[in-house]
């Protein structure tokens, strides 16, 4: 578990939006090359605009690993700042503007439950010899360390297929956590049959499975999910296609199997961005991923007469990602100017070494 150093005091007064933006830019200029601000694609625009580098989890992990800045301010969620700390040098500081910016999916798998699952799997078969543990980057540092300890690896939505290819080259089975949908959609794209995939219910003995089901499975999927991407439904696609013939559907692989099977294309946030950017002027897209990104894409391509529409009729955004706001960003930047490092994320060395091994296996494939 990482250690967080909280902000002791917020900005003394709450400036209006324009003044807040000006003060953020002034702080950035004063800190110069000592600072890099990383912004995930799901951030709100008024924060995203201040990022030196924007991207999905894979891209930002690579940037964090190569950054020369003294301060890495991560406008994302907790596990992302942990990755930045793990991959950066000891003298660097990974900072999260709002410590409450977490991830509900990551919370669905904790070390105690994963270790219990591993013991139960080992009781059925020799886990160390037959199962490669793979954790989605949307997980806590101690789970990345678990994978490092057991010869496993980390993946993102960008590289999940390459990572699973690597995992199967090492052992015959994979335990994939915490997101069952990314695992299932990736496995299906690789030719793994649905009857070769089982869901491990972490609240039940043996994950709710029989020993025969475990022995027959190639891919053991943790019963976790992203609440944002579960808002999208097959009926949303059918209804939209009836009203708008010719629309192209693109979805993130955290969406359900049914949604991804109906989509014309499935991929990471970077893949979604690049695919829509490369499409002809006037094209029409229905997109199954976080609302802030979809709105940004619509505005970005408006002049090309492209229509980029959010898939769900219900507004759905990442509420924990949304916690980071301009005022929390300003607070940590002005704190740095005053000589105070606050909201620093530190992963204990006992976890960091093993987690780094699992992350570096992933980066070597990417």
Query: What is the reported pLDDT for 321?
Result: 75
Q: Domain ranges for the chain, please list them.
A: 3-101+320-347, 106-226, 229-310
DSSP H helical segments within the chain, as ranges? 17-31, 45-48, 57-66, 78-87, 111-124, 127-130, 141-149, 160-170, 180-189, 211-216, 234-243, 257-262, 269-278, 291-300, 326-337, 349-365
Q: How many CB atoms lie within 10 A of CB 10?
A: 14
Cβ partners under 8 Å of residue 87, min gap 6: 61, 64, 65, 356, 359
Query: What is the reported pLDDT for 3?
Result: 57
Rounded Cα distance, 166 and 22, in Å: 47
Interval 204-212 mean pLDDT:
98
What is the tens place of the pLDDT at every residue in 280-316? 999 999 999 999 999 999 999 999 999 999 999 887 6
Residue 7, pLDDT above cutoff 50: no
Cβ partners under 8 Å of residue 73, min gap 6: 35, 36, 37, 38, 95, 97, 329, 332, 333
| Secondary structure (3-state) at 309 | strand
Within its chain, how far is the Cα of 7 from the centroid? 24
Instruction: Lowest mean pLDDT of 59-68, 101-110, 173-182, 313-322, name the range.
Output: 313-322
Which residues face 136 on adjacent strands?
A: 155
Query: One fold for both 106-226 and 229-310?
Result: yes
Q: How many CB atoms lie within 10 A of CB 69?
A: 20
Q: Taking Cα atoms as reference points, which of 51, 48, 144, 65 lies closest to residue 366? A: 65
Q: Tell me the average pLDDT of the chain.
A: 93
Query: What is the reported pLDDT for 315?
Result: 73
The CATH number, out of the four listed (3.20.20.100, 3.40.50.10800, 3.30.930.10, 2.60.120.200), of the domain defined by the range 229-310: 3.40.50.10800
Q: Which residue do the tokens 């591993």 mark?
A: 118
Q: Quick one: CATH architecture of 3-101+320-347?
A: 3-Layer(aba) Sandwich (3.40)
Residue 11, pLDDT above cutoff 90: no
Q: What is the CATH number of domain 106-226?
A: 3.40.50.10800
Rounded Cα distance, 156 and 347, in Å: 20
What is the tens place of the pLDDT at every residue in 99-116? 988 888 999 999 999 999
Within its chain, how far is the Cα of 218 from the centroid? 24
Q: Taking Cα atoms as reference points, which of 58, 128, 136, 72 lies closest to residue 103? A: 136
What is the tens place of the pLDDT at every residue in 214-268? 999 999 999 999 988 999 999 999 999 999 999 999 999 999 999 999 999 999 9
Q: Using 50, 70 and 90 to split pLDDT, how confident is the model at 322?
A: confident
On the question of a cis peptide bond just before residue 336, with omega within 30 degrees of 0, the verdict is: no
The Cα angle at residue 255 between residues 165 and 62, in degrees rounded to 5:
55
Percent of the chain whose pLDDT exceeds 70: 96
């Amino acid at each position: 578990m990482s250690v967080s150093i909280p902000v002791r005091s917020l900005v003394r007064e709450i400036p209006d939006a324009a003044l807040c933006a000006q003060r953020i830019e002034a702080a950035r200029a004063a800190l110069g090359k000592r600072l890099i601000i990383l912004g995930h694609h799901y951030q709100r625009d008024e924060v995203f605009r201040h990022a030196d580098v924007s991207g999905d989890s894979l891209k930002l992990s690579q940037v964090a690993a190569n950054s020369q800045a003294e301060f890495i301010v991560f406008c994302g969620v907790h596990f992302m700042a942990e990755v930045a700390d793990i991959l950066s040098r000891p003298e660097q500081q990974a900072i999260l503007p709002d410590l409450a910016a977490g991830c509900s999916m990551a919370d669905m798998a904790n070390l105690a439950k994963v270790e219990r699952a591993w013991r139960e799997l080992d009781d059925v078969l020799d886990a160390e010899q037959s199962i490669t543990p793979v954790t989605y980057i949307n997980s806590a540092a101690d789970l990345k360390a678990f994978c490092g300890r057991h010869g496993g690896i980390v993946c993102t939505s960008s590289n999940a297929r390459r990572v699973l290819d690597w995992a199967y080259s090492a052992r015959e089975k994979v335990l994939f956590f915490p997101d069952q949908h990314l695992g299932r959609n990736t496995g299906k794209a690789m030719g793994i049959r649905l009857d070769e995939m089982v869901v491990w219910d972490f609240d039940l003995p043996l994950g709710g499975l029989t020993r025969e089901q475990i022995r027959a499975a190639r891919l053991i999927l943790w019963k976790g999910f992203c609440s944002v991407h579960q808002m999208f439904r097959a009926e949303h696609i059918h209804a939209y296609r009836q009203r708008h013939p010719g629309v192209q559907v693109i979805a993130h692989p955290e969406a359900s199997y049914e949604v991804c099977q109906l989509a014309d294309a499935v991929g990471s946030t970077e893949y979604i961005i690049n695919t829509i950017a490369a499409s002809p002027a006037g094209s029409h897209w229905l997109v199954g991923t976080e609302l802030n990104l979809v709105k940004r894409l619509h505005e970005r391509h408006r002049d090309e007469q492209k229509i980029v529409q959010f898939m769900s009729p219900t507004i759905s955004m990442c509420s924990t990602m949304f916690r980071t706001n301009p005022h929390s960003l300003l607070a940590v930047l002005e704190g740095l100017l005053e000589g105070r490092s606050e909201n620093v994320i530190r992963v204990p060395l006992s976890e960091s070494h093993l987690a780094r091994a699992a992350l570096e296996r992933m980066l070597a494939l990417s």
